[in-house]
Amino acid sequence: MAEALDLSLYAKPAGDGTLGMDVAVEGIACGGCIARIEDAVKRLPGVTQARLNFTNRRLHVAWSDDVIKPAQILQTLETIGYHGHPFVPLRAEQEEAAEARRLLRCLAVAGFAAMNIMLLSVSVWSGNVTDISPETRDFFHWASALIALPAAAYAGRPFFASAWQALRAHSLNMNVPISLGVTLALAMSVVETAHHAEHAYFDSAIMLLFFLLVGRTLDHAMRRKTRAIAGNLAALKGETAHRLVDGELVGVPVAALQAGDRVLVRPGERVPSDGVLLSGTSEIDESLITGETMRRKIAPGTTVYAGSMNYSGAFTLQVTTPGGATLIDEIESLLEKAASAKSHAMRLADRAARIYAPMVHTTAALTAIGWLIAGASVHDAVVIAISVLIITCPCALALAIPAVQVVASGALFRCGVILNSGDAIERLAEADTVIFDKTGTLTLPEARVVNAGDIDPVLLQKAARLALSSRHPLAIALSREAVVRTPFDDATEQPGRGVWVMLDGSEARLGNAEFCNVAQPAANERGASTICFSHGGRSANIMISQKLRLDAAEVVNSLAKLGLDVRILSGDRNAAVRPIAEALGVSQWLGELKPAEKIAITESLREQGRRVLMVGDGLNDAPALAVAHVSLSPIAAADLTQAQADAVFLGEKLAPVLEAVLIARRARRLMSQNLWLAAVYNAVAVPVAIIGWVTPLIAALAMSGSSIIVTLNALRAYRGRRS
């Protein structure tokens, strides 16, 4: 039955009679795809605009109403080999886009001002050693002031605003000394210019702003890109629910469900939303929610949660809370507590600022007092003190960390790790204990055949090919083994029992033991589910179970070699956890844990002074992820869990976890190297400034030089294995 797909939720009127929709597109490989996609979509009747953004892999389509349905656009994409899913841009993303434009505007203004002031300053510097007249010098200084003051007022806003916020909260951040330095430098320059002095510091102040804005803009751009890709992945994961409207089925995006809607859930589908069963019975797998791999029987009146996998029968659900945004009350309250208790690891840059800022201010004050005692005039003492402030302005220091972060998050991105929070790199590098969840994290998110070696390959292939005709989750797991991917013709499914077909003159049956006329298989302790197959007098019991990620053992081993203490905490039965822990060589494991117990263990480890890296995917892991020092989550994880994690990793392998730790450690090393470089620069420059030898020329050169060295050093974080 072809079911109508209703995507009107995503189509937004553009005002000129057309509708617009944004689609995240999967499968774009090269520049050639741009033309293919745009041409194909533009050929649809009524489409007025199709523009693909290659940077964030999103297609914007506009069409006149009533000519085509939005679903046709997705079908067109399917026919040329791309998978698309419509989405509504998050508000946070729109705000970030606006912030990026604001930063770029500030950068442009600062760049323009810096270039022109430099032009004037170089003339003054060369004039000072030759024959510039005081009138011309004053004219140049006033011209510089005319450019510098409005430019600083405009381009400095990101720093001033943040510094003001910090001061109001009675704390210091890196922006406080920056703002103070820039303001004082400009104020002093104006005073000096009014007194026809030889030197003014307009150039230093504006160059400082320019370099800092370069760092911020890069940092912001990188974060925005990874955020966009993560948003696309979330959209592509978005599933459709079958809503019952007047007895007819209409496919709607899960996001369009409302409380009270009735929804049909077929076997092999995930429950789209929290709700109460109205009719039908089934078994559901709640491993994504509780970690428990044993299935639960459900009947009318039972409450089910979004994300559960429906196994045996179709049922109708009344939606209680739409969008699958809810979770079990217990987890919700734990999560609230965890989020408020989370130790706010202070960022390296802020820690440096807290030591650095008072030191700089004290040094400057002492310099002024020292010169006064030594008999200098008040004017000279103040000028020298301010030049100390300017030369120590943490240009290199403020670039030292963002630059490394930008480069390292690029390296992480290439390894399939997408960062959710900016300071995760620092915390990742500090981790000394790794806690893995089992289901979906150490194991693959989907079940696989585990005893393939014990079964005649010919028989297994027949079974796997027959399994292609069924939508039962066990059959879907089995069908992954099929080499020939075309289903048998005339295969018939008996819902809840099995599927059969005539093959070489005899019946081939795949299903439960009774259906296949074989003896009931003995219960096995590994917690695997069994599916039977019989054909021509031969039969096989095929065991389906969670399978370890291919490189799990290798990764766990390497992590242990790096000196990390690897543990497993699972919500699943001990019988299911033990073989996995043994296979991986992890001696410290615990099973049958409730979410609260996972938190308790994580917290007690923290109290012992350990820094815990938590890797988990289930809803039951979400609170523990929030409590842990740093957390990672696979892309297949529950939405809420992903939102809690500091980073998300892609793919079927566990290797990104190891790569993330390695890259973060290297980045951390580079960050402290950079801080040391900045410290050495200050150790040299500050005494020179205190003596009173610093001219604006030296200040400008020293600051740019140290910034460039620090940035070049940061680029080394990009090295990393490509995977």
Per CB under 8 A, the segment of 133-141, 556-564, 595-603, 631-639 that binds another protein is: 133-141
Q: Name which of 230 and 482 has its Cβ closer to another protein.
A: 230
CA 58, CA 40: separation in Å to the nearest integer? 15
CA 404, CA 401: separation in Å to the nearest integer? 5
Q: Name which of 97 and 691 has its Cβ closer to another protein.
A: 97
CA 327, CA 321: separation in Å to the nearest integer? 10
The residue type of 80 is: I
Residue 201 three-state SS? coil
Say if CB 295 and CB 285 are below 8 A apart. yes
Which residues are part of the catalytic machinery? 437
Residue 317 three-state SS? strand
The minimum distance between CB 140 and another protein, in angstroms, equals 8
Say if CB 631 and CB 625 are below 8 A apart. yes
119 binds another protein (CB under 8 A): yes
Per CB under 8 A, the segment of 18-26, 101-109, 158-166, 624-632 that binds another protein is: 101-109
Answer for which of 27, 43, 55, 260 binds another protein (CB under 8 A) is: 55
CA angle 269, 273, 279 (to 5 degrees): 70
Say if CB 431 and CB 668 are below 8 A apart. no
Where is 674: in which H helix or E strand? helix 655-691
Answer for which of 5, 34, 229, 249 binds another protein (CB under 8 A) is: 34
Q: Name which of 58 and 611 has its Cβ closer to another protein.
A: 58
Say if CB 421 and CB 230 are below 8 A apart. no
Per CB under 8 A, the segment of 28-36, 259-267, 393-401, 467-475 that binds another protein is: 28-36
The minimum distance between CB 96 and another protein, in angstroms, equals 12
Answer for which of 5, 40, 71, 104 binds another protein (CB under 8 A) is: 104
Tokens of 80: 């040329």
73 binds another protein (CB under 8 A): no
Alpha-carbon 396 to chain mean position: 27
12 CB contacts (<8 Å, ≥6 apart)?
19, 20, 21
Q: Name which of 140 and 500 has its Cβ closer to another protein.
A: 140
The minimum distance between CB 696 and another protein, in angstroms, equals 19
Query: Do strands 529-535 and 506-511 pair parallel, antiparallel, or not at all (unpaired)?
Result: antiparallel
95 binds another protein (CB under 8 A): no
697 binds another protein (CB under 8 A): no
The minimum distance between CB 85 and another protein, in angstroms, equals 20
Nearest CA among 535, 514, 527 for reference residue 467: 535
The minimum distance between CB 12 and another protein, in angstroms, equals 18
143 binds another protein (CB under 8 A): yes
Answer for which of 43, 83, 101, 379 binds another protein (CB under 8 A) is: 101
The minimum distance between CB 513 and another protein, in angstroms, equals 56
112 binds another protein (CB under 8 A): yes
The minimum distance between CB 53 and another protein, in angstroms, equals 4
CA 323, CA 710: separation in Å to the nearest integer? 47
The minimum distance between CB 26 and another protein, in angstroms, equals 17
126 binds another protein (CB under 8 A): no
- Residue 527 CB coordination number (10 Å): 17
Where is 343: in which H helix or E strand? none
Q: What is the DSSP string of 633-652?
A: EETTS-HHHHHHSSEEE-SS
The minimum distance between CB 32 and another protein, in angstroms, equals 8
Q: Name which of 30 and 374 has its Cβ closer to another protein.
A: 30
The minimum distance between CB 690 and another protein, in angstroms, equals 36
Nearest CA among 327, 239, 306 for reference residue 621: 327
Q: Name which of 52 and 586 has its Cβ closer to another protein.
A: 52
Burial class (CB in 10 A: 0-12, 13-18, 19+), 119: middle
605 binds another protein (CB under 8 A): no
Answer for which of 3, 89, 139, 693 binds another protein (CB under 8 A) is: 139
Burial class (CB in 10 A: 0-12, 13-18, 19+), 16: exposed
Q: Which ranges constitute the DSSP H helices of 80-156? A: 91-129, 134-155
Answer for which of 4, 43, 54, 525 binds another protein (CB under 8 A) is: 54
Among residue numbers 147 through 176, which ones bind another protein (CB under 8 A)? 147
Q: Name which of 54 and 693 has its Cβ closer to another protein.
A: 54
Tokens of 553: 């053992």
Q: Name which of 105 and 379 has its Cβ closer to another protein.
A: 105
Answer for which of 13, 80, 81, 105 binds another protein (CB under 8 A) is: 105
Say if CB 77 and CB 19 are below 8 A apart. no
Q: Name which of 1 and 29 has its Cβ closer to another protein.
A: 29
At 62, give phi and psi (nearest 5°).
Answer: -125, 135
CA 532, CA 517: separation in Å to the nearest integer? 9
Among residue numbers 525 through 584, which ones bind another protein (CB under 8 A)? none
400 binds another protein (CB under 8 A): no
How many residues make contact with another protein (CB under 8 A)?
Answer: 25
Answer for which of 1, 2, 29, 30 binds another protein (CB under 8 A) is: 30
Residues that bind another protein (CB under 8 A): 30-32, 34-35, 52-56, 97, 101, 104-105, 108-109, 112, 115-116, 119, 133, 136, 139, 143, 147
